[in-house]
Structure 1
Amino acid sequence: MGIADRITSVRLSHVDLPLSTPISDAKVLTGRQKPLTRVAFPFAEITAESGHRGLGFGYSKRAGGPALYAHAREIAPELLGEDPNDTGRLWSKLVWAGASVGRSGVAVQAVAAFDIALWDLKARRAGLPLAKLLGAHRESVDVYNTSGGFLSSPLEQVLDNADLARSRGVGGIKIKVGSPDPAEDLRRVEAVRAHLGDGVPLMVDANQQWERSAALRIGRRLEAYDLVWIEEPLDAYDAEGHAALAAALDPPVATGEMLTSVAEHTALIDANASDVVQPDAPRVGGITPFLRITALADRKGLSLAPHFVMELHLHLAAAYPGTAWVEHFEWLEPLFEERLQLKDGRLLVPDRPGLGLTPSDRAARWTVDSVLVREG
C-alpha cells in the first residue's frame, strides 16, 4: 500500500490565554486550588506535501501548560515523512514515543494537538466539516452555558448571566455547587430554578468536592429542582461511589471530564458509574481516543456531554448517535477569527471545512514560544 501524502512540517506554538476575570469553583473555595486566571494552549499546524494543512490544539488550566508544550516539542519530529491519513497509527506512534512517562496525563495530552490537527487536515482535504467527515447524526446540538455560573459570581450576577446566555440562544444553564456550605448551594440552585422557571434545562456541578455520604444527602435535596444532571459529585476516580450514587438518585449523574485516558473512561463506563459521559478530547489525547470512548458509551446507551472546548466538541457531539449536549464557554473565542452560531437552544455545526477555525491576531500576540519542525 503506497503513501497517499507525506507530512513535511509541523508548527508548534505555546499560546497563553488570559481570562478577563479570575474564576473560582468549589475546588478554590475548599482551598485545593487557586483562582483560574489563564489557560495554556499548545497549538499544532501540520502541513503535508500535497499542500493540505490541519490545525489542532490542546490546553491546560493552571499548571501543566509548559510541560505539555515541552513534551509535544520532543515528539513532533516523529510525524515527519508520515502519511497524515494514518490517524490511528500515528496516534499510537506518538504515544509510544513518550511511553516512558506513561500512557495518560501529560504524555497523552501532548499528543492531542497533533491528533486533532490530523483529523482537521483530513476533513479540510475532503471539503467537509469535521462532523460530516465523522458521520453526523444532527446539524445542531443542544447547548448549555457554564461560564456564567461560577461560585466566584454573586447570585444576582449568576441570574443576569443566565438571562444573557438565554438571550443569545443558549438552551440550558449550569451552575457550580460544592461550596463549604451546602445550604448556600441549595439556596443558589433554588433561586436559579425559580428565576428560569420550569422546563428550562438546569444542571449543577460540584467539581468533585463531596464525600459519598454528603453527595447522597445533598443529591436527594437537589431532586426537587428537576435537574438534567448532577456533575462530578465525587472524586473523578471513584467509580464505585459514582455507581452507587447513580443508582440511588433520580437526577442523572455526569462525570469524566478529568480523566486522561481511554482506560480510565472504560473503568467508569464498565462500572455503570454515570448516566452522562463527559470525555474531553484534548485531555484524553485527541479525537482518535475520544471516538473509542464514545463507542463504549453508545453501546451502554449513555448520554454524551463533552467537557469545555465547544469549538471542537460541537463536531464530536454532532457525530454521536445518542443524546448529546455541548458546553458553552466563550473563553476561547478570542483565539479564533470565526464564531459559532446559536439558535433556539442549540449550537449549529458550521459549514466550513474541518474545524472551521483560523487563529486570530490576538492568539499570535499571546504566543509565548513557537518552533517549526520540518524535513531537512
Structure 2
Amino acid sequence: MPELRDCIVLHGPDLVPHRARRFAWVHDTITAIELGEPCTQLDTGALVVIPGLYNSHTHMGDSALPDGATGLTLEQAFFRPDGYKYRELAKLSEETHLPHLVAHLGYMARCGVVCHLDFREQGLPGARLLRKASEQTGVQSIILSQFNESPIPEDQLRANLSPLPETARLELEQILTIADGFSESTMNDLTDNAWREIRDITSARRKLRAIHCLENPGYRDLSVATTGRGDLIRALEIYDPHLVVHMTAANADEIALLARSGKTAVLNPRANAALGLALPPVAALLAAGANLLLGTDNGMLNSPSILAELDFTFKVAKSQFADALRPDPTAILKMATSNIRPALGGDHFGHLAHGLPASFVILDFTAPHLRATRHITASIVGRVTPADILATYHTGRELYRAPAFTF
C-alpha cells in the first residue's frame, strides 16, 4: 500500500490544511487519511498533498501553434472559417498533430492537472485525436466538440429561423459517440431552433453542454441585433448549458442572472489579458456567489499551467476588490478543485477524503522558498510552480513524478 507519513493534507471540499500522520491509497482509492490538527503555517517545511487540479477550459488542438496568435486580433486568430487557427490546423496530419497534444497534456500533469475540459475543434476526427492523446498520458480529457464547419449560412443565421440541417444532426450524432459533450464557439453561431435541437439531443444522451458567452461586448450586441436578447440570457433560456465560459464583458445584471441560474462559469483571465480584452469580473462574480472554475484557454495564447492561472486570478481578484483581505485564497484554489463537483458530478469530487478517488498532487514545501510559509493555501495559489510538484496521481495512476522523488 503506497503511503506518505507526517505530511500536510488539504482535506475535504473546504480544502482545510491538516497535519496528517498518514495518507495512503490502494489502486484508485484513498484508503487512509489520519488527520491531526489543522495547520496553516510551517516552520521547517513538509510535503503537502492537495487535490488533483482541473483545467476547465482548454483548446489543446492549437497547442501545436504556440504564440501563433501574436499580432492578430481575436477574429483574425480564432474565428471560423478563415481564422489563423483553423487554417493552420487543417494543414496538420494526425502524425504531426498528436505529438503536440501528448506533450502539452504531459505538461499539464507536470503542473498538477489530472483532468481538463477541452473545447475541441475539427469535429469527429478532432475528438478522436484528443482521446488518443488522453489515453497515452493518463490526463483525463473531457471533450466538448464543435462542428467541423459552420452548418448554417450567415444570411440564415441572421434570420434566426433555420433548424439544424440534417447533415449537422448526423455529424453531431457521430461526434457524441466519442465526445463527452458539445460546444459551438458562441450563441451567434447557430439559430435558436438549432440550439434547441442540440439541447434535446445532448440531454437524451446525457452529454455535457457548454458555450462561450460575453467574451467581448460584440457577442451580446450581435445576439441582441439578431434575436432581441443578449447571448447569456439566450443561452440560459434555450440551450441550458452546464458551463458558461468567459463572462468577460458581463454587466451587473448578467452577473446576477448567472448566479441565480446556478450555472457554473469558467474564467480565463490570462487569455483575456493576452488578447487585450477586459479582465473578467472575478470579484463581482465571487461576491454574487457564482460557482467559478478556471481555464487556460487556447494553447496558442498560454502555456496550459493552471498554477499560473491561479496566481494571476488571485491578484486580479484582489485588485478588483480593492481590498488586501479579499478574496480568501481558498476561494481561488476551489476554482481549480472542489468547485468542479456541481458542474460535473459523478467521480469528479475535486477534494480529498477517505474512500474518494486517489487523484492528488504532492508539493515540495521543504523547498527554501516554501518551507517557512505563513499561509499554506496562499503559497499554493501564489508561489507554487511546476518545479515544486513532486508527483501527480489520477485515480491511482502516476501521471508525473519528479526524477529524484521517492517515498
Query: What interval of TM-score do these two structures reach, taking the shorter chain for normalisation?
Result: 0.3 to 0.5
User: Structure 2 length normalisation: TM-score?
Assistant: 0.39
User: Structure 1 length normalisation: TM-score?
Assistant: 0.41
Return the index of the structure with the highest Cα Rg: 2
